[in-house]
Amino acid sequence: MSRPPRPQFLARDSYRIRRLMDAARFLPVFGFVLVLLPLMRHSPDTDAPPTASEGVYLFLVWFGLVFAAFLMSLGLRRALDAPKEQITPPED
């Protein structure tokens, strides 16, 4: 009788690192969408857009993106600089 197939197992640490790398790759796209939001919500009924509030919004988006990138870089640096354990495949 043959053994049942082994369940797929992804190591938790490598899974989290890959998801963090995916988030870091997606961050510029997310930032681009956030920067374009004021252009999409501008009402054609008014003559001029609200420059002061848009300026504050853009500054906050920029600061938030820089902070998010900083936090992601800390997590990735800690994960990628950690000493790797040698994993050997199980013998059948």
- Yes or no: say if 29 and 84 are a contact pair by the CB < 8 Å rule: no
> Could you tell me which of 32, 54, 35, 34 has the C-alpha nearest to residue 43?
54
Residue 46 lies in a domain: no
pTM: predicted TM-score of the whole model, two decimal places: 0.68
**Whole-number Å distance between alpha carbons of 24 and 19:** 9
Residue 90 lies in a domain: no
**Whole-number Å distance between alpha carbons of 30 and 62:** 11
Please give the residue range of the domain that contains residue 58: 12-40+51-81
- pLDDT tens digit sequence for 20-72: 889 999 999 999 999 998 878 777 777 777 788 889 999 999 999 999 999 99
Can you give the pLDDT at residue 17? 84
- pLDDT tens digit sequence for 4-25: 776 666 666 678 888 888 999 9
Provide the strand spans (E) within the chain: none
Residue 56 lies in a domain: yes
Residue 3 lies in a domain: no
User: How many folded domains does the chain comprise?
Assistant: 1
- Yes or no: say if 31 and 65 are a contact pair by the CB < 8 Å rule: yes
Residue 2 lies in a domain: no
Residue 34 lies in a domain: yes
Residue 73 lies in a domain: yes
